[in-house]
Amino acid sequence: FHQVDHGPGRKHEGSGLGLALTKRFAALHGGDVRVESDVDRGSVFTLSLPLRRAATTTETPAVAVSSNGHATDPLVLVVEDDPAAAELLTRQLVAAGYRTAVARTGTEALEKARSLKPAAITLDIILPEIDGWEVITRLKSDEATSGIPIVVVSVVDNPELGMSLGAIDYFVKPVDGRDLVQRLNQYHVEHSPGREKEQIRVLVVDDEPANRNWLAKTLEPEGFTVVPASGGREAIELAKSIKPDFVLLDLMMPEVTGFDVVEALRADEATRDVPIMVVTAANLTEADRRLLNGRVSQILSRGAVANSDIVGLLRRVVAHRNGSP
């Protein structure tokens, strides 16, 4: 949209954020905003909001299973007091192959987490009886539920607190369902039975010993075999001799840089298909990114990436390679 009249009589101009804010508020209420425009005639904006029906005595089934699902499909406990938001999350999860159970209050969330032992929990913060912060604290302090991954999905924008209490991820509403499902898929693969027994070799390339140690401490407890390389030349030789399942690569190294390593591995038939994940503290230019585009699987910024993100991404590649969903 643009302002038609730019004449001197226009003393006041808006910031242009009104429509974006309206759409965001509509999404927070489970609705949407649509627009139809005709040139030289005008525009019609339509706001759609879900109508909340009065509560009935009929209880929601504890577990909703997708019509094409199986009892062995992973179960996600959706903790959400807003029926429209809970229904939206449920539809997105069922479509992605998950079963769902819904809890409307913090107390109910604690009870169902203990009884159902879900594969993961999506958790709103603003809840009746017990808020989401207290729910996380109690779940993580209970041996029976402490290992269940919790993903916060809330209008409350405080990811630092959520992660410090034990959440594995934090989404501020409105949420793109694809991003949420992708994250849950990562953690489902990561915690699937038998995955920890796989010996996946990861070549960790970094000239800083502290960084190599950090990655080794992150990956080895998850069942990965870490092969360290302190420089680019050593990395190229090791990659050719052991053909690792992955390469975790720093870019800024003396003599033979990470860019040189990428070039050498992609030029060699024996290593050209080995996935490369860049983990660097460098601020990459557009030229750097173009150079790496299509040649590395992922570029992660060290310091801004969680340990679980690295593990989850590696597990996704394992699952894809093995043909898992």
CATH number at residue 167: 3.40.50.2300
- Note the pLDDT of residue 30: 65
The domain containing residue 39 runs over which residues?
18-48
What was the pLDDT predicted at 15? 46
Owner of token pair 């974006």: 20
**Residue 100 CB contacts under 8 Å (≥ 6 apart), including other chains:** 63, 64, 75, 76, 77, 78, 89, 90, 93, 94
Ramachandran class of 293: left when φ > 0, alpha when ψ lies in -120 to 50, beta otherwise: beta
> Can you give the pLDDT at residue 66?
40
Sign of the torsion formed by the C-alpha atoms of 169, 29, 116 and 67: negative
Same-domain pairing of 202 and 309: yes
> What was the pLDDT predicted at 319?
61
Q: Are 41 and 79 in the same domain?
A: no
Tell me the three-class secondary structure of the chain, residue by residue: CCCCCCCCCCCCCCCCCHHHHHHHHHHHCCCEEEEEEECCCEEEEEEECCCCCCCCCCCCCCCECCCCCCCCCCEEEEECCCHHHHHHHHHHHHHCCCEEEEECCHHHHHHHHHHHCCCEEEECCCCCCCCHHHHHHHHHHCCCCCCCCEEEEECCCCHHHHHHHCCCEEEECCCCHHHHHHHHHHHHHHCCCCHHHCCEEEEEECCCHHHHHHHHHHHHHHCEEEEEECCHHHHHHHHHHHCCCEEEECCCCCCCCHHHHHHHHHHCCCCCCCCEEEEECCCCCHHHHHHHCCCCCEEEECCCCCHHHHHHHHHHHHHHHCCCC
- What pLDDT does 297 receive? 77
Number of domain units in the chain: 3
Which of 190, 219, 238 marks a domain boundary? Answer: 190
101 and 135 both lie in a single domain: yes
Residues 91 and 159 in one domain: yes
Tell whether 207 and 309 lie within a shared domain: yes
Both 280 and 174 in one domain: the answer is: no
Q: Are 275 and 202 within one domain?
A: yes
pLDDT attached to residue 214? 85
Q: Which pLDDT score, from 0 to 100, does residue 294 have?
A: 77
| Whole-Å CA distances, 108 to 122, 131, 218 | 14, 11, 34
In-domain check, residue 242: yes
List per-residue pLDDT tens for the chain, 325 residues long: 455 555 555 544 444 556 766 776 776 666 777 788 888 888 888 887 776 544 443 444 444 444 334 566 788 999 999 999 998 888 888 877 788 999 999 999 999 999 999 989 999 999 999 999 999 999 999 988 988 889 999 999 998 898 888 888 899 988 877 788 877 776 654 445 444 444 688 999 999 888 888 888 888 877 788 899 999 999 999 998 888 888 999 988 988 999 999 999 999 998 988 888 888 877 788 888 888 887 887 787 776 666 666 777 777 766 655 555 4
CB neighbourhood size of 289 (10 A):
11
Paired residues of 300 in beta bridges: 279
Tokens found for residue 87: 């229904």
In a domain, 106, yes or no: yes
Judge whether 42 lies within some domain.
yes
Q: Under a CB-based contact definition with an 8 Å cutoff, are residues 195 and 224 in contact? A: no
Residue 147's DSSP bridge partners are none
CA–CA dist 52, 227 (Å, integer): 57
Q: In the chain, how long is the greatest CA-to-CA distance?
A: 74
127 with 106, same domain?
yes
Give helix 106-116 / helix 132-141 axis angle, nearest 10°: 30
Single residue among 148, 175, 190 that ends a domain in this structure: 190
